[in-house]
């Protein structure tokens, strides 16, 4: 098992090297030269702890880690920092099953991977005898930033910089980031949207002069975004865990196929489900759910990726994205590992904002279905599910649920479905409270209190007392100032 760039750099890297580097030198993303098959007797895995499932899934991707090293990583990541021993419980409702991925410290699915990435990175640094301090750059649409900060705060040998859109995250998401403690944490709002932040981070990664400057000061760059293969691989595990929980609940028999529904903007979470299918998980359809920023839905349906469109600020801000980084990895796999073809698409995207994929890729995308839910449709889904079944979901999960109901009505496909529930409803308490008919509260924190009082759903520990925490990061910068603030802080 080796890792190469999606864009043609044939220099093979060990998993440890790919995790440290984050992004390839030719601007491509690291991909495994093969996707390992996982020969798992699902029936015999019922009742197995999440950390043990994660170990089995990740082992084939990380051959440089011996069994004891990987055990230390999984044991350290998936412990009492989650508010349930199940780590990612599956809740069954009348229409679908919801995989709750938000029981970590930051109440969002990013905790599932960012709880283990620091362990993988530090182990990689030791194994590669890396002597430079690792500078982690992260662009966030709301959830990755806090999860990365929480994972890397005060971790020896690292500095972490997070950039978020000044007007594109919820009040709760922003407060989580700007109150982050840690001598090595740096948080900046940028004047722009998530795509601007992500483009700025990639530009810094590809600035050779800046890299040389940092190297001279004994620093090297890495990333906590899902462009880092060490962020993506851990996400594969929870789809296997969902399947095993369906078995345990008697919803399926071993070997039965399931559908997986994912609300996504940057494509990493659904790509992890694609990897799970390639490893042997019986998945029928991969249902990609978009909000009004429906660039992925349109691409799946017509094979044209067109970022030249209006950008919408919605009630599901973590999906307010027009440049989906992880789609590049999928295209590489579906093109027959044609790096030159992928490099051409990415050049077209950078120059013109649009590309059209080959017939080969389009025919290989038959496992995917793309659908869109507008804000009013997602909000109606929240209302219906709460009032009908007393189950509370957030605005992103609601996009997925609405798309799934539409998919099922159009196709008649009643294959059991797992919906990736990506955040606690309390992270978007003001919108969720409004959806279920509560009066408008003074702010997001008052909405948390009102929502809890009305529903009795527990408030995640990481959100309690957030209003009273001291703001430690208050700078807003322009996009072209990102490299300067990094250099200055270091």
- Residue 218 domain-assigned? no
Q: Can you give the length of the chain in residues?
A: 490
- Residue 70 domain-assigned? no
- Residue 5 domain-assigned? no
Rounded CA separation 114/321 (Å): 20
Rounded CA separation 13/35 (Å): 15
- Residue 117 domain-assigned? no
Rounded CA separation 490/485 (Å): 8
373: its two tokens: 């839910």
- Residue 253 domain-assigned? yes
Total Cβ atoms within 10 A of residue 410: 10
Which of 13, 27, 51, 110 is catalytic? The answer is 110
Containing structural domain, residue 453: 90-108+232-462
Query: What pLDDT does 422 receive?
Result: 98
pTM of structure: 0.95
Q: Is 56 a catalytic residue?
A: no
Q: How many domains does the chain have?
A: 1
What CATH code is carried by the domain that includes residue 418?
Answer: 3.40.50.1100
Query: What pLDDT does 142 receive?
Result: 84
- Residue 429 domain-assigned? yes
- Residue 39 domain-assigned? no
369: its two tokens: 């279905």
One digit per residue, the tens of pLDDT, for the chain of length 490 reads 899 999 998 889 999 999 999 999 999 999 999 999 998 899 999 999 999 999 999 999 999 999 999 999 999 999 999 999 999 999 999 999 999 999 999 999 999 999 999 999 999 999 999 989 999 999 998 889 999 999 999 999 999 999 999 998 999 999 999 999 999 999 999 999 999 999 999 999 989 999 999 999 999 999 998 899 999 999 999 999 999 999 999 999 999 999 999 999 999 999 999 999 999 999 999 999 999 999 999 999 999 999 999 999 999 999 999 999 999 999 999 999 999 999 999 999 999 999 999 999 999 999 999 999 999 999 999 999 999 999 999 999 999 999 999 999 999 999 999 999 999 999 999 999 999 999 999 999 999 999 999 999 999 999 998 999 999 999 999 999 999 999 999 9
Query: What pLDDT does 115 receive?
Result: 96
- Residue 199 domain-assigned? no
- The residue with tokens 């494509």 is 267
């Amino acid at each position: 098992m080796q890792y190469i760039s999606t864009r043609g750099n044939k220099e093979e890297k060990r998993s440890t090297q790919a995790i440290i580097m984050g992004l390839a030198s030719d601007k491509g993303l690291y991909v495994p030269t093969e996707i390992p098959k996982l020969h798992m007797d699902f029936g015999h895995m019922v009742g197995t702890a999440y950390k043990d499932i994660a170990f089995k899934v990740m082992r084939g991707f990380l051959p440089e880690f011996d069994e004891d090293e990987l055990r230390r990583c999984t044991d350290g990541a998936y412990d009492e920092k989650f508010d349930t021993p199940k780590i990612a419980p599956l809740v069954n409702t009348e229409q679908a099953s919801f995989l709750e991925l938000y029981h970590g410290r930051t109440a969002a699915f990013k905790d599932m991977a960012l709880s283990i990435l620091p362990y993988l990175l530090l182990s990689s640094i030791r194994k590669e005898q890396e002597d430079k301090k690792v500078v982690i750059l992260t662009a966030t649409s709301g959830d990755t930033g806090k999860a990365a900060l929480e994972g890397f705060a005060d971790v020896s040998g690292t500095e972490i910089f997070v950039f978020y859109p000044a007007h594109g995250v919820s009040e709760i998401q922003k407060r989580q980031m700007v109150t982050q403690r840690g001598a090595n944490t740096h948080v900046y709002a940028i004047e722009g949207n998530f795509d601007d932040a992500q483009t700025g981070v990639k530009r810094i990664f590809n600035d050779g002069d800046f890299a040389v400057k940092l190297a001279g000061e004994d620093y090297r760059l890495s990333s906590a975004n899902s462009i880092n293969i060490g962020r993506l691989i851990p996400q594969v595990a929870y789809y296997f865990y969902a399947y095993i929980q369906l078995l345990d609940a008697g919803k399926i028999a071993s070997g039965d196929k399931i559908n997986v529904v994912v609300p996504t903007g940057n494509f990493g979470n659904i790509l992890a489900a694609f990897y799970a299918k390639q490893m042997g998980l019986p998945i029928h359809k991969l249902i990609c759910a978009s909000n009004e920023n429906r660039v992925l839905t349109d691409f799946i349906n017509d094979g044209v990726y067109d970022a030249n469109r209006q950008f919408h600020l919605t009630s599901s801000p973590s999906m307010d994205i027009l440049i989906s980084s992880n789609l590049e990895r999928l295209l590489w796999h579906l093109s027959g590992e044609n790096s030159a073809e992928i490099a051409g698409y990415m050049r077209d995207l950078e120059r013109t904002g649009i590309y059209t994929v080959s017939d080969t890729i389009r025919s290989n995308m038959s496992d995917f279905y793309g659908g869109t839910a507008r804000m009013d449709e997602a909000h109606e889904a929240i209302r219906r599910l709460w009032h009908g079944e007393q189950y509370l979901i957030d605005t992103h999960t609601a996009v997925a649920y609405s798309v799934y109901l539409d998919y099922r009505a159009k196709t008649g496909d009643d294959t059991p479905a797992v919906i990736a529930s990506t955040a606690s409803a309390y992270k978007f308490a003001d919108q969720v409270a409004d959806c279920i008919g509560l009066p408008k509260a003074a702010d997001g924190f008052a909405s948390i209190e009102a929502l809890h009082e009305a529903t009795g759903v527990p408030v995640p520990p990481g959100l309690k007392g957030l209003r009273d925490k001291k703001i430690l990061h208050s700078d807003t910068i322009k996009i072209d100032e990102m490299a300067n603030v990094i250099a200055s802080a270091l």
